[in-house]
């Protein structure tokens, strides 16, 4: 099986700052449906997490330098969470990701670099 990371990209703070508790719970139910669907279709979740608000983050600029505390006004999209998924069917994994993309954030699916990849 090949391992991928599914990145949830968008307004990472929207869940905490603009949504009611009912809206958040409805959204979390869709993420649970996504996880269930992955299992039903033979994909294996090996890790992942929702990330805390950007106000708790630290950013180090390219090339190094002083870290700044969030939120980061200059960044329009942030990673709000991720899944690590093993699968033999990338196209079906991408199809499953439509469930969470429908909530309004973008989704990136990227293959994880393995030691074998580094040797070629």
CATH (one of 3.40.50.720, 3.40.50.1860, 3.40.50.2300, 3.30.70.1060) for 2-118: 3.30.70.1060
pLDDT given at position 24: 87
Check residue 61 and report its DSSP letter: -
Q: Is the dihedral of CA 67, 13, 10, 111 positive or negative?
A: positive
pLDDT given at position 89: 98
Query: Which tens digit of pLDDT belongs to each residue from 81-114?
Result: 999 999 999 999 999 999 999 998 899 999 999 8
Give yes or no for a contact between 2 and 42, defined as CB atoms under 8 angstroms apart.
Answer: no
Give yes or no for a contact between 79 and 12, defined as CB atoms under 8 angstroms apart.
Answer: yes
Query: Which tens digit of pLDDT belongs to each residue from 23-63?
Result: 889 999 999 999 999 999 999 999 999 988 888 888 888 89
pLDDT interval class at 19 (50, 70, 90): confident
Domain ranges for the chain, please list them.
2-118
């Amino acid at each position: 099986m090949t391992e991928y990371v599914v990145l949830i990209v968008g307004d990472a703070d929207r869940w905490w700052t603009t949504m009611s508790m009912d809206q958040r719970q409805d959204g979390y139910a869709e993420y649970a449906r996504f996880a269930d669907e992955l299992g039903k279709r033979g994909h294996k979740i090996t890790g992942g997490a929702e990330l805390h608000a950007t106000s708790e983050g630290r950013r180090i600029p390219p090339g190094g330098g002083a870290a700044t505390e969030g939120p980061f006004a200059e960044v329009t999209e942030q990673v709000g969470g991720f899944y690590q998924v093993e699968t033999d069917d990338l196209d079906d994994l991408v199809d499953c990701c439509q469930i969470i993309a429908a909530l309004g954030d973008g989704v990136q699916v990227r293959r994880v670099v393995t030691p074998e990849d580094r040797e070629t």
